[in-house]
């Protein structure tokens, strides 16, 4: 069957269309992405602005048309931290449903972590042993660890690259004092949860998903995306440490010219690099392997599991 996953995130609204069958690997058929940046369309109280809601409705309507054009049989629409944490989130969801017919399921942070972990587990398999998985989104950082398909520990922290950039790094390039202050805040936030994972024992395999980690890995020498899905890509901590001060010193335009860095993600890359460095350092991880699958694939896999058990 042809499935579509509509992911309303803090940075983008992404429709992923796959051909999926029980017991088989989902095969990507089409991808449609809009850089909505909901995390930047908030008022002083954190509510999504009227303009933001208008743009979200239009973007969802467009994605729905694309899904129909591509023969999607079952659409799995969900929203993450930007909608989840907005004081007017319920009203936003109601308007999207009324004007597009799409009912967005709001995932909790823990659900995001669990589904991303499931995707990583299926990608690497049982031979990977105990997995430790990191994912940096626009609004949050997810961490999960475990031996099975469901993690033994899963947390979500408000340390997304877009959120942190908007709140703490107004300059271009950012003021060194702001960078140092953000570094302290990020490390304090991550350190609070390290003990939860330490009790599980050391991981056998540490991996990362998300665009932020992929771009940082590319900066640190990983293969280009054009070299194929199955090429192993790693993010070494030592190389990342060298890049962090360099990224912080560059204006957004020059960051966007770096290998693998998109213009849309360049403004957030300093914050993302600070979060990635802190997570690796505090968890004692010397290198992360990049996993091509993440939250959207986790949603698809869970749906297929439910269909097989029905």
Q: Kindly report, residue by residue over 153-203, the tens digit of the pLDDT.
A: 999 999 999 999 989 999 999 999 999 999 999 999 999 999 999 999 999
Task: Name the pLDDT band for 104 (thresholds 50, 70, 90).
Answer: very high
pLDDT band at residue 309 using 50, 70 and 90 as cut-offs: low
Q: pLDDT above 90 covers what percent of the chain?
A: 86
Q: Are 36 and 54 in contact (CB under 8 A)?
A: no
Residues 136-155: what's their mean pLDDT? 96
**Mean pLDDT for all residues in the chain:** 95
User: Is residue 310 over pLDDT 60?
Assistant: no
Strand partners, 132: 145, 206
Domains and CATH numbers, the chain: 2-106 (3.30.420.40), 109-295 (3.30.420.150)
Mean pLDDT of 247-252: 97
Q: Given this model, what pLDDT does residue 251 score?
A: 97
Phi, psi of 290 (to 5 degrees): -80, 130
pLDDT per residue as tens digits for the range 21-35: 877 788 999 999 999
pTM of the model: 0.95
Q: What is the rounded end-to-end Cα distance, in angstroms, of the chain? A: 15
* pLDDT confidence of residue 21: 80
For 47-72, the pLDDT digits (tens) are: 999 999 999 999 999 999 999 999 99
Q: Residue range 141-148: average pLDDT?
A: 98
Pick the most confident of 166-170, 223-227, 247-251, 303-307.
247-251
Q: Supply angle C-alpha 129, 132, 138, rounded to 5.
A: 145
Of residues 152 and 1, more confidently modeled: 152
- Rounded Cα distance, 62 and 89, in Å: 21
Instruction: Please say if the pLDDT value at position 250 is more than 80.
Output: yes
**CA 14/CA 63 separation, integer angstroms:** 8
* Short-list 117, 125, 186, CA closest to 152: 117
């Amino acid at each position: 069957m042809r499935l579509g996953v509509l992911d309303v995130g803090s940075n983008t609204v992404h429709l992923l269309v796959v051909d999926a069958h029980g017991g088989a690997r989902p095969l990507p058929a089409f991808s449609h992405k809009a850089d909505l940046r909901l995390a930047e369309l908030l008022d002083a109280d954190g509510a999504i602005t009227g303009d933001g809601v208008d743009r979200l409705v239009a973007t969802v309507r467009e994605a729905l048309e694309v899904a129909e054009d591509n023969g999607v049989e079952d659409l799995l629409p969900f929203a993450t931290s930007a909608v989840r944490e907005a004081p007017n989130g319920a009203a936003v969801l109601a308007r999207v449903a009324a004007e597009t017919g799409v009912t967005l399921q709001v995932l909790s942070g823990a659900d995001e972590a669990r589904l991303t972990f499931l995707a990583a587990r299926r990608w690497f398999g049982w031979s990977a042993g105990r997995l430790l998985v990191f994912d940096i989104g626009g609004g949050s950082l997810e961490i999960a660890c475990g031996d099975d398909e469901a993690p033994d520990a899963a947390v979500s922290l408000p340390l997304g690259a877009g959120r942190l950039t908007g709140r703490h790094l107004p300059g271009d390039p950012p003021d060194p004092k702001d960078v140092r202050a953000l570094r302290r805040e990020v490390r304090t936030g991550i350190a609070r949860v390290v003990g939860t994972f330490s009790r599980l024992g050391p991981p056998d395999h540490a991996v990362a998903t998300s665009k932020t980690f992929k771009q940082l890995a590319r900066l640190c020498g990983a293969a280009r995306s054009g070299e194929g899905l199955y090429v192993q890509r790693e993010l070494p901590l030592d190389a990342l440490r060298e890049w962090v001060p360099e990224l912080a010193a560059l204006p957004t335009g020059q960051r966007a010219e770096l290998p693998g860095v998109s213009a849309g993600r360049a403004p957030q890359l300093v914050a993302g690099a600070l979060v990635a460095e802190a997570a690796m350092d505090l968890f004692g991880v010397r290198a992360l392997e990049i996993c091509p699958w993440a939250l959207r694939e986790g949603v698809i896999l869970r749906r297929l599991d439910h269909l097989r058990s029905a």
